[in-house]
Amino acid sequence: MRVQDGRRNVARWLLAAILSAALVTGLVLGQAAQLFAYAWPLCLPCIGIQ
């Protein structure tokens, strides 16, 4: 069980590092602003208009 816990912790920290790097890269690339631009007008397929 301890081996499994250890592996889980390694997976957790590895993923946290990868996701943090992705977050910073995404922000530097301006993806938050892109998301804002996307989410501002109406989503026509969500409403049911093609």
Give the residues lining the site for other proteins (CB under 8 A). Answer: 1, 4-5, 8-9, 11-12, 15-16, 19-20, 22-23, 25-27, 29, 31-36, 38-40, 42-43, 45-50
Cα angle value 36/40/44 (rounded, 5°): 125
Least separation in angstroms between residue 8's CB and other proteins is 5
Least separation in angstroms between residue 33's CB and other proteins is 7
Least separation in angstroms between residue 44's CB and other proteins is 8
Give how far the C-alpha of residue 43 lies from the chain's centroid of Cα atoms, to the nearest Å.
21
Residue 25 in tokens = 């890269």
Alpha helices (runs of H) in 29-47, residue ranges in sequence order: 31-39, 44-47
